[in-house]
Every structure is written in C-alpha cells, then in structure tokens.
C-alpha cells in the first residue's frame, strides 16, 4: 500500500527529524540512568557479587521510572520500536537496542555499548531464575512457580499431615514464629525434612520472625451466656428441638458434641424422670419449659421447642418430685472478651490494662467509651491527632481525635451498620503514623538461634528501613548462619515506600527475595491502591532480579470451606507472575494445593511476568475446522 493509503500517517513518524528527536530524548534518558547509578556507588559496593549486576540494573530502573515517559513510549510504539515497557530485567540494554534501531533508521553509525550494560535480555532472565533457585530451591519439573504452605500447629505432632502436604505439591513449608513455641517449630521442621526424604525431592523451610506486630491486648470476658435453640425451617417451624445435656458436677462429659452441656448437682439430677417438665425464667425474662427425654446414671438430656438464654443465675425448676425442686447451673464455657463499636463512637486505645465495653444501660447504646489496650505501648506516644487507625484487617477504622502519653482517643468512622465486635489479639494498623520500632524485637533475636539451626530461609517481618535488614544480617553472621536466604516481608506503607533501599540492603545476603503481604498492605495503603501497589512491587523485584512470594488469602475460601470463590480463582492465576505463591492453613488446604498447582501449570503457557505468551489457542473453534479439544 502506498503512502496515500497509510491510514494513521505512520510514514510521517519515520522522517529524519522525528527519529532524531527520539534519539535525543533516549540519549538524555540514558545519561540520567548512568548518572543515577554513579550516585548510588556506596550502596552498590555493599552488595554480594552475585547481586552486583542486579543492583546496577535496579538503579537504572529507578532512574527510568523517576519521570513520566508515556509520551515517549507512544512515539516509540508508533514507529514500531520497543516502547521500553517490558525491559525490567535488562533496563539499559533494552534502551540501547531502541537507540541502535533509531540510528540505523536514519543511516547513522551505531556502536553497541555493551560495556556499560550490566545485563542483557538473556542474562537478566537467567539471573532472576538463578536467584529464585538459590533462595527457594529449584521449581518442579513441569511448574515454574513454587507453592508455599503455612504449617498449622498440628504439623508439630502429625507427620502424616506434613507428608500429605508434600505429596500434594508443597515446595516450601512456612513456619510462623508468631505462633506456637520453639519445640513445636523444631518438630515441624523435622517432619518436613523427613517427608521430603520420603518423596525424594527437596522441600525448603521458611521461618518467619514475628516482628513488632501491633495488636489489641486482652479484653475482659463477657457475660457467661449459653444460647440453646431449636433447628427451624424457612417458615420458622421446628425441625429438631434444642437439646441440653446436664451432667453431675463431678462426672465426665459423655455428650456427642452436638449437644450443649452444663453441670448440675448430682442429687437434683437423680430426681429427674423421663417425660418430666422443667421450667425456668431465662436471662431475658422469658418463661421457658424443657422436657426430660433421657436419664442416665449421672446425666440427663432436656429438650425444648423454643430458644432459651441460660446464665449462672438461671434457676431450673422441676414440675414435681422430691426436694430440692430448683437448682442453678454451672460449667458455662468462658466467653471471649469483645467490645462492640459503632460508627460515631469514641474508643480509647491504652498503653496497658484490660479492655472493656464501657458502661451500657440495658437495651441502650453505651453511656461511656469502650477501651482496648495495645501490645506495643511505646507506639502510643508516636501517634498524632488526625491520623488514621485500623483494627482487625481493616474491619474497623477510626480517626485519632486526641493523643496523650497514655492513650489514644479514637472516633470510629468505619464499622458495619449495627456495630462491629473487636476482640483481643487483633491487628492494629497506623498507615499515617511515623512509627520507629526495630523490625527485630527481643523475642526475634532469641528466636533467630532456633531459625539458624532449622530453616533454609528467614522472613523479616515488618521491614521498613535498611537498618532493619542490616541488623538481621549481623545477627545471622554472629550465629554463623550467613547461608540462610532472606525474605523481606513488605506489609506496611513505610516498607513499600522504602522498598528500593530495603532491596539494596537485602542484596548483601547471598540469596534474597520479597514477600508481598497483601493483607496488611491493603489496610496500610488502601484497598483501592492494592492492585497498583502489588504491580509496582512486582516490577521493582523483577528489575532487581529478586524472586517474589505472592501471599495472603490465596484460595482462602477453598482452604477454609472447601469451595473457592470465582474472584480468588482469578487472583490465584495472577500469582503466576511471581516465583512462589503462598497458601495459608485450613482444613481443605490439600484441595487448595492441588487446584493451585493446576492453575499455575495452565497459566505459565500464557504469561511470563508482564509478557503475554502467544501459545496456540485451542479453546476456540475456527469456522470449518473440527471442534477443539480442551485440555
């Protein structure tokens, strides 16, 4: 087709003036990248030799992304030249290729500048694969992305469970040092090594240090109330009566687990007869009646067709028989402490003490503010008025209205209609606050000795500054454990913002990678920003040739309930852009491993990092061709 038929005017883009303008812009951009690398000389000198080229490439990437080059990309793409959009692993070499093509278009000489380029296309990808294998172990033969699984507490005394996890496809076992004790971690690690030997393939162990996780402290237990209710259909008709088993105070519980169980005096139980009626006035003042349906040697089973709320003050009354006719009950299960907050409420976050729900009049809203203590009291003095605070993975949000040395006064701004319960040991996030806490607590320093003996990889939780990484590496050197790989767990807004300095510091290790802890990151950076944040972290990690662990709530519904949601299937497929995907524990985690394995195998034929792979599509039927065979 001639120039007149060239819709869009592509020939205009190829004139000498347009090409020379692009050469000038790319040359200036190249000079900025080289100068930026020179300015980071002190940081580059501290990296391990295996990361030397990667650190330089990261410097070039940071310079490239310092300004908005979208107009330049558009002009390069219009001309059919690389738009610099997929060159994370070889930034300078990618730009030089574009410069070389532009020079040849106008007939100017071009001498390749490979002496300035730390890596090229092939070596950049090879370095990423090598660093991933150094840290995470080699991938399975027919799956390029590894699967990590968080071990439950049961893994410490159930070798069969660990053996099944390994058999299903677990490549890396994660032990969370925020839970259980050292003896349990050691038993888990021993089971993993033994299971790996049984199947004849390596399985690495990551041990996560707990770090300074800010959580709610203990909250006073609520009233001991047992709700006994029948099973009803959609119309409210009783399908099965409510059952309550009573047993003598000194007798063992022989219930079947489906019944509610309480204790009563043996002499009162001995007077019960089948068919007898037992009345009570429940905790709400409602008159209720039970009928005795079973009598044992030291127990009885009562049934009722209505819902009953029982407390230690509730008195059961036999309709007839010997005295005593009435009795109270005990053996109520402990009630977990919780406070309930509503939008507009004021709540105090205190340095210490026991949390409480405030003063509440019967049937009315609170007359005074609830309070919850926090596990890191030193944080209280670092929070300022007007800063946001989130609780329990973002379920509850508030604004600090007043900050003193002893407490924060928080106005609740985010909670469901009708209020939201808040229990102890729930996470607290302060995305706006500048918190100065070392990433290694005293507990972490003590736990590191156990980690050094049993792990292949150590996870640094809540890493925020290069000094956090340096302190961990120094601790490993003192223990003679420099061989351990290092995972930067990025779970705070500060950690995300300081990721470049964290990455350079981590390159002083022989093997290092990044975990995108999306749960805390979503709360810290905002759910609306999470997709953008995880993309930027993937790009930076690729430029640093550092492997990525895609973590938090992957196939969470499947692992916990046995049934995945549609959204989490797509999310799991996105994990193919990482080097490892992490699953959390759950009763159906074996099913989650198998499904994730299948998803990752399918997706690796379609995408590699940001690059789409144009595999032959066999899913669609071409007119006139045989029906496709779907694998």
CATH number for 598: 3.20.20.60
Q: Are residues 456 and 563 in the same domain?
A: yes
Whether the CB-CB separation of 398 and 374 falls below 8 Å is answered with no
Picking from 429, 403, 404, 402, the residue whose alpha carbon sits closest to that of residue 414 is 429
- Span of 224-238, 366-380, 469-483 with lowest mean pLDDT: 366-380
Q: What is the pLDDT of residue 2?
A: 39
pLDDT for residue 323 is more than 80:
no
d(CA 169, CA 149): 10
Question: Is residue 626 in a domain?
Answer: no
pLDDT for residue 209 is more than 60:
yes
pLDDT for residue 5 is more than 50:
no
Domain stop point among 266, 297, 328 = 328
Domain membership of residue 296 as a residue range? 226-328
Q: How many CA atoms lie within 13 A of 165 on its CB side?
A: 35
| C-alpha to C-alpha distances, 444 to 208, 447, 458, 503, nearest whole angstrom | 9, 5, 11, 21
Question: Is residue 621 in a domain?
Answer: no
Q: What is the pLDDT of residue 143?
A: 93
Q: Are residues 452 and 595 in the same domain?
A: yes
- Span of 94-98, 348-352, 539-543, 622-626 with lowest mean pLDDT: 622-626
Q: Are residues 260 and 198 in the same domain?
A: no
Q: Are residues 184 and 231 in the same domain?
A: no
Domain stop point among 328, 355, 374 = 328
Q: Quote the number of domains for the chain.
A: 4
Question: Is residue 132 in a domain?
Answer: no
Q: Are residues 448 and 412 in the same domain?
A: no
In tens, the pLDDT along 560-610 reads: 999 999 999 999 999 999 999 999 999 999 999 999 999 999 998 887 877
Q: What is the pLDDT of residue 362?
A: 43
184-200: average pLDDT: 97
d(CA 495, CA 498): 5
Strands 315-318 and 370-373: unpaired
Q: What does the angle CA 436 – CA 437 – CA 441 come to, to the nearest 5 degrees?
A: 170
Q: Are residues 368 and 253 in the same domain?
A: no
Residue 308, strand partner residues: 228
User: What average pLDDT is seen over the chain?
Assistant: 90
Domain stop point among 310, 328, 346 = 328
Residue 262, strand partner residues: 246
- What is the domain-level CATH number for residue 404? 2.40.33.10
d(CA 165, CA 148): 10
Q: Are residues 527 and 601 in the same domain?
A: yes
Question: Is residue 494 in a domain?
Answer: no
Rg (CA), the chain: 31
Q: What is the pLDDT of residue 196?
A: 97
Alpha helix segments (H runs only) across 200-283: 266-269
Residue pointed to by tokens 């990248």:
33
d(CA 143, CA 195): 20
Q: Are residues 204 and 177 in the same domain?
A: yes
User: What is the pLDDT confidence band of residue 380, given thresholds at 50, 70 and 90?
Assistant: very high
In tens, the pLDDT along 388-445 reads: 999 998 999 999 999 999 999 999 999 999 899 999 999 999 999 998 888 898 999 9
Question: Is residue 76 in a domain?
Answer: yes
3-state secondary structure of 365: coil
Q: Are residues 200 and 77 in the same domain?
A: no
Q: Are residues 525 and 411 in the same domain?
A: no
Please return the burial class of 616, using the count of CB atoms within 10 Å of its CB with bins 0-12, 13-18 and 19+: exposed
Q: What is the pLDDT of residue 291?
A: 95
Q: Are residues 594 and 483 in the same domain?
A: yes
pLDDT for residue 210 is more than 50:
yes
Q: What is the dihedral of CA 93, 97, 99, 102, to 10 degrees?
A: -170
Q: What is the pLDDT of residue 336?
A: 81
Picking from 427, 383, 391, the residue whose alpha carbon sits closest to that of residue 412 is 391
d(CA 318, CA 215): 48
Q: Are residues 541 and 461 in the same domain?
A: yes
Q: What is the pLDDT of residue 612?
A: 66
Please, what's the b/e burial string for 278-290 (b: 16 or more CB within 10 A of its CB; e: otherwise)?
Answer: bebebbeeeebeb
């Amino acid at each position: 087709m001639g120039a007149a038929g060239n819709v869009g005017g592509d020939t205009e883009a190829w004139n000498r003036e347009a090409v020379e303008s692009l050469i000038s812009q790319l040359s200036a951009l190249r000079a900025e990248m080289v100068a930026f690398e020179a300015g980071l000389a002190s940081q580059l000198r501290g990296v391990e030799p295996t990361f030397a080229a990667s650190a330089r490439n990261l410097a070039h990437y940071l310079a490239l992304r310092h300004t908005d080059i979208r107009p330049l990309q558009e002009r390069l793409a219009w001309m059919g030249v690389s738009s610099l959009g997929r060159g994370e692993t070889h930034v300078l070499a990618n730009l030089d290729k574009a410069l070389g093509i532009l020079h040849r278009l106008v007939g100017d000489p071009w001498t390749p500048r490979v002496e300035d380029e730390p890596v090229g296309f092939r070596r950049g990808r090879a370095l990423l694969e090598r660093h991933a294998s150094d840290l995470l172990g080699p991938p399975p033969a027919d799956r390029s992305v590894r699967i990590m699984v968080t071990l439950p507490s049961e893994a410490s005394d159930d070798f069969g469970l660990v053996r099944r996890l390994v058999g299903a496809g677990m490549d890396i076992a994660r032990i969370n040092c925020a839970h259980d004790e050292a003896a349990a971690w050691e038993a888990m690690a021993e089971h993993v090594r033994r299971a790996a030997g049984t199947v004849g393939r390596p399985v690495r162990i990551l041990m996560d240090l707990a770090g300074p996780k800010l959580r709610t402290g203990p909250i006073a237990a609520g009233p001991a109330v047992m709700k006994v209710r029948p099973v009803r259909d959609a119309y409210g008709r009783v399908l099965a009566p409510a059952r309550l088993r009573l047993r003598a105070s000194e007798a063992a519980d022989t219930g079947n687990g489906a019944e509610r169980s309480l204790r009563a005096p043996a002499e009162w139980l001995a007077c019960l007869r089948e068919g007898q009626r037992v009345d009570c006035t429940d905790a709400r003042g409602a008159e209720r009646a039970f009928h005795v349906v079973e009598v044992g040697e030291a127990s009885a089973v009562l049934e009722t067709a209505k819902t009953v709320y029982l407390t230690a003050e509730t008195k059961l009354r036999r309709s007839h028989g010997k005295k005593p006719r009435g009795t109270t009950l005990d053996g109520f299960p402990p009630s977990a402490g919780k406070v309930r907050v509503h939008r507009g409420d004021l709540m105090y976050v205190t340095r210490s003490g026991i949390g409480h729900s405030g003063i509440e009049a019967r049937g009315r809203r609170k007359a005074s503010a609830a309070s919850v203590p926090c596990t890191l009291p030193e944080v209280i003095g670092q929070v300022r008025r007007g800063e946001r605070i989130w609780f329990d993975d973002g379920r509850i949000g508030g604004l600090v209205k007043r900050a003193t040395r002893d407490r924060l006064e928080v106005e609740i701004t985010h909670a469901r209609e009708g209020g939201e319960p808040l229990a102890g040991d729930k996470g607290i996030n302060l995305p706006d606050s500048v918190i100065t806490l070392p990433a290694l607590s005293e507990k972490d320093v003590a736990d590191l000795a156990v980690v050094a003996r049993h792990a292949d990889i150590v996870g640094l939780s809540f890493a925020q500054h290069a000094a956090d990484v340096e302190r961990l590496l120094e601790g490993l050197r003192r223990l003679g454990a420099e061989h351990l790989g290092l995972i930067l767990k990025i779970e705070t807004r500060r950690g995300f913002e300081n990721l470049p300095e964290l990455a350079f510091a981590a390159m002083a290790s022989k093997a290092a990678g990044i975990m995108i802890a999306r749960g805390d990151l979503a709360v810290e950076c905002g759910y609306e920003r999470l997709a953008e944040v995880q993309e930027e972290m993937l790009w930076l990690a690729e430029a640093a040739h550092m492997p990525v662990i895609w973590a938090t709530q992957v196939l969470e519904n499947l692992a916990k309930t046995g049934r995945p949601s549609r959204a989490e299937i797509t999310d799991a497929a996105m994990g193919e852009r990482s080097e490892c995907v992490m699953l959390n524990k759950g009763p159906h985690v074996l099913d989650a491993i198998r499904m994730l394995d299948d998803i990752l195998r399918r997706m690796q034929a379609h995408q590699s990092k940001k690059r789409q792979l144009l595999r032959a599509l066999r899913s669609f039927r071409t007119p006139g061709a045989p029906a496709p065979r779907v694998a």
